[in-house]
Structure 1
Amino acid sequence: MYEDGLGEQDVLIVGAGPTGLTLAVDLARRGVRALVVERAEGLFPGSRGKGIQPRTQEVFDDLGVGEAIRAAGGPYPVGMIWRDGRRQGEHRMFDGSDEGSEDSPYREPWMVPQWRTQEILAARLAELSGGIAFGRELVGLEQDPDGVTAVFASGPPVRALFAVAADGGRSTVRRTLGIPMTGETVDPHPMLVADVRISGLDRDNWHIFPPVEGAGFLAVCPLAGTEDFQVVAQFPEGTDVDLSLDGIRAAVAARSHLAPADVTSVSWASDFRPRAALAERFREGRVFLAGDAAHVHSPAGGQGLNTSVQDAYNLGWKLGAVLRGRAPESLLDTYEEERLPLAAGMLGVSTRVHRGEARRGAATQQLGLGYRGSSLAVETREDLADGALRAGDRAPDGLRGVRLFDAFRGPHWTLLVVGEAAPAQLPPLPEVRTVRVPSYEAYGDGLFLVRPDGYVGWAGASSTGLAPYLSRAGA
């Protein structure tokens, strides 16, 4: 054990943002010794990643924070276009229905400021006896065949079997590993984002002020569950953005009918240049990249935080299976295999939304994403109809005597035996929860082995081939 009690870990997670905290929660509920280290002295204080997409809401439900996330936030307000101090009309920000359905209970993005999401995840981690060490700035990382050693600017080193870089777009871990990140500038115009208090604007709308001469657009969004607004403002290329209270007041007044004094306070502010970038690989030996350390998005469409959370959700069960000795270490190769192409695809979605080439809708909800091309997706049925659920797809919800998401919730695998034609006799499956349900159109009849992250791993009309799959995948 090291002198400050951090000790040797199964997994060291660098970064206490949504990615690192999600992974830590998932590992903690599996009994994995994981430590989160964060160079700052506390959690990130801003609202930046405020949109929780439907698929991520399902993930949070499984991790035990779904109710807290719903209670902390609210739906996005309807956009309102302003010009010359007058309301010009509403602007719907999202395509599609806001109504949930039997197979997809969440169909709208849910607004929760990023700082609040992190507080909820950190509280859940504490419930599971997980730890965060603040004020630990990583300055070196070495690995050998048996593990990883992390060195910090202050305090003793930490030894772990595996490490995960969840330390953002400027990832120290990624640079230390020498993994290149390539991409493009999505928009050369600097952007301001800030959490402010404003008087003189209602909280029923997302207020949008189109560009005026000499100044870019302004958007002022009431942050659900708080008294704050998030201000986003665009500036001419080459501008040095002033993040002070006076600077933000001037930016708001130049683009809207509001007076400088209407901005009464600023609790957090930052500037950035929208870009899209992807790491060349998501793994180097015993170290994995996740979240912004692996892919950087434009904020348009709300894909960055959500793609990052799902990186962690994909990696967590795989690390758990390997560390428990239930799966070969080769299972970890499927993390990059599955997540890198999906991240690349979502980068494209974010960029198109930012440039006005696509609307926020089904693609940004992330419910249609899956892993059909993965080596972990084994489909043994033949002659399936177009549109049929297949191995690799997200496993739908539904109420068939038991709510399926209730059956899936937890770190286990689930075998769904669906319909009268499904076999009555099954091999012993001590580590798998078996649930029998009547015929359900969303699935069709058969056997569906649902992974711990809610995707169908294996599907068949009989149990032939099920046992070898389970052995390889760590169930």
Structure 2
Amino acid sequence: MDVLIVGAGPTGLVLGVDLARRGVEALVVERSAGLFPGSRGKGLQPRTLEVFDDLGVIEAIRAAGGPYPPRTIWVDGEPAGEQPMFDRIDTDEGTPYAEPLMVPQWRTQEILYARLLELGGKVAFGREATGLEQDAEGVTVRFADGTTARAAYVVAADGGRSAVRQAVGVGMAGQTVDPAPFLVADVRLRDLDRDHWHTFPGADGTGVALCPLAGTDDFQLQARLPEGTEPDLTLDGVRKLVAAYTHLAPEDVTDLRWSSDFRPRAALADRFRAGRVLLAGDAAHVHSPAGGQGLNTSVQDAYNLGWKLGAVLRGGAPETLLDTYEEERRANAAEMLELSTGVHRGEVRRGRATVQLGLDYRESSLSVETRDDPAGVRAGDRAPDGTVDGVRLFDAFRGPHWTLLGAQSPGAGVRALPAAPESYGPGLFLVRPDGYVGWAGDSADGARAYLAGVGA
């Protein structure tokens, strides 16, 4: 087996989809009996929507979700005004997705799982990884049932308490973002409109929020509880909580579909790679849910890692290409952790800072800018959408290949368009399989040399 992915959350499923379309033999293993049942990571940022466009699931995702409603603040049983959840960002040709989309996490995972199966991928449920040994040729993973599996590489996508991360001895340093306990649940309600995200603040910094979950009949309940409180995750406990903070009666909560508790924390793994084991998603970084960065940063991890594993395993790229995964993604995760914490503490507004469209890899060793006076898009930047000779760039980018804008294709596995949009600025642009500009220059000769260096 080429790759064993531990964990069938969004991270593991995205990676599984990306590897499957590259012809990489991969197996996703999940300790639970099925997919995650809750709505927890419900916000999909525009950059994640671009990834889903490339992976072939954007239409299903858009059909399953909807926009965020405005927030209504309730005071003494009466609505006291509303405000948008995000600062508006206008769409343009380069940015077709400008606003976050609300899709409950369980539904996102169902769509990714279906896509994985469509591509011939597999998930083995009820397989709990408990330990591993690695050598120069691969990794042997042990499971709770006494069985083992062997793979060339293992990816830890098994969450913040990652057994794989612990097995390879990688530490994770962090801090408490908020000392108060939080409760999150999916509930059915009556007598509350679904056109607003309803917030019921308490006088002591506690409070309850009830958000209608797009594409479902459910609401997501979020509650900040008094310090020292032990959250009651039962239906009766949730009913008492709703009745204590809102104008609703306990019986207006008609069903509890899922519940969990957490204490907001920010943490970052010391390394994202330990030999043939790579860490991704919550196994590598843990966020406050504020601002919707955790799941989205995890998707970006998988998207960055997928093409690199494919290049090493199927494209003849040097094994050292995998070192750039940690180089690029750990710095990005650290930045997103700081952003999530800032949003949680009210220091950063949701909007342009949180949509992840401005993230870049300009400082990466894979980003080669050779133009004397670069203008517009630079090596390391996200490659914007646009149109060249009637071809939409995101359509040209879609798939596990490189794209050269401004010249004929320098070789197999590279799609070429005769020019870049004017918005890119002058020059030629070589776009990586994950939608970032790897190389920018004035001559296709430089593109050939660059591709040879990454095994493409």
By the TM > 0.5 criterion, same fold?
yes
Whether the 8 Å CA contact 1:216–1:255 is kept in 2: the answer is no
2:410–2:444 Cα contact (<8 Å) kept: no
| 1:321 and 2:311 matched | yes
Q: Helix, strand or coil: the match of 2:444? A: coil
Match of 2:380 in 1: 392
1:395 is matched by which residue type in structure 2?
A
Q: Deviations over 1:315-342 (max 9, x none)?
A: 0000000001420001000000000000
2:38 counterpart residue number: 46
Letter in 2 for 1:221: C
1:466 to 2:447 alignment: yes
- The one-letter amino acid of 1:431's match is G
Q: Does 1:377 align with 2:367?
A: yes
1:406 correspondence with 2:398? no
Kindly provide the amino acid, as one letter, of the partner of residue 234 in structure 2: S
* Structure 1 letter corresponding to 2:314: R
Residue number among 194, 213, 218 corresponding to 1:228 in the alignment: 218
CA distance in 1, matches of 2:435, 2:300: 11
Alignment of 1:321-340 (within 5 A): 321-340=311-330
Aligned-residue offset at 1:96? 2.4
Question: Does 2:434 correspond to 1:453?
Answer: yes
Aligned match of 2:154: 163
State the secondary structure of the residue aligned to 2:445: coil
Aligned equivalents of 1:445, 1:175: Cα separation in 2: 48
Q: How does 1:103-114 map to 2 (within 5 A)?
A: 103-114=94-105
What SS does the aligned partner of 1:464 have?
helix
Q: CA offset at residue 83 of structure 1?
A: 0.8
Say yes or no: does 1:89 pair with 2:81. yes
Distance 2:410 2:363 in 1: 28
Aligned to 1:356: 346
- The whole-number CA distance in structure 1 between the counterparts of 2:135 and 2:421 is 50
Q: Deviations over 1:351-394 (max 9, x none)?
A: 00000011001111000001000000000101234xx2100000
Compute the TM-score of the two structures, normalised by the length of structure 2: 0.98
Cα pair 2:409 2:416 within 8 Å, conserved: no
Q: For 2:302, which of 288, 312, 327 is the aligned residue?
A: 312
2:106 counterpart SS class: helix
Structure 1 gap segments, 5+ residues each: 1-8, 418-422
What RMSD, in angstroms, separates the aligned Cα atoms of the two structures?
1.1
Does the 8 Å CA contact 1:162/1:286 hold for their aligned counterparts?
A: yes
**Match of residue 265 from structure 2:** 275
Report the secondary structure of 1:212's partner residue.
coil
Cα distance, 1:397 vs. partner?
0.1
Say which SS state the counterpart of residue 343 (structure 2) adopts. helix
Matched residue of 2:259: which SS?
A: strand
In structure 1, the residue matched to 2:58 is 66
**Greater mean alpha carbon deviation, residues 365-374 or residues 463-472:** 463-472
Output the amino acid matched with 1:69. Answer: I
Match among 300, 313, 333 for residue 290 of structure 2:
300
What SS does the corresponding residue of 1:36 show, helix, strand or coil?
Answer: strand
Aligned-residue offset at 1:12: 0.2
1:155, 1:468 → 2: CA distance? Answer: 48
Quick one: which amino acid aligns to residue 317 of structure 1? Answer: W
2: CA distance between counterparts of 1:427 and 1:314?
Answer: 23
Aligned partners of 1:468, 1:256: CA distance in 2, in Å?
Answer: 64
1:176-255 matches, cutoff 5 A: 176-212=167-203, 216-255=206-245
Q: Distance in 1 between matches of 2:44 and 2:147?
A: 37
Give the C-alpha shift of residue 100 in structure 1: 2.1
Number of aligned pairs? 455
Aligned to 1:5: none
| Residue from 14, 18, 31 that aligns with 1:26 | 18
1:410-452 CA-to-partner distances (Å, cap 9, x unmatched) read 00000011xxxxx6xx574122111113x63321222100000
**What residue is the counterpart of 1:429 in the other structure?**
411
Are residues 427 and 92 of structure 1, via their aligned partners in 2, closer, same or farther at CA, if it must alter by over 3 Å?
closer
Q: Does structure 2 conserve the Cα–Cα contact (< 8 Å) formed by 1:136 and 1:155?
A: no
In the TM superposition, structure 1's runs of 4+ consecutive aligned residues that sit over 6 Å from their partners are: none
Correspondence for 1:37 among 29, 33, 58: 29
Structure 2 residue aligned with 1:420: none
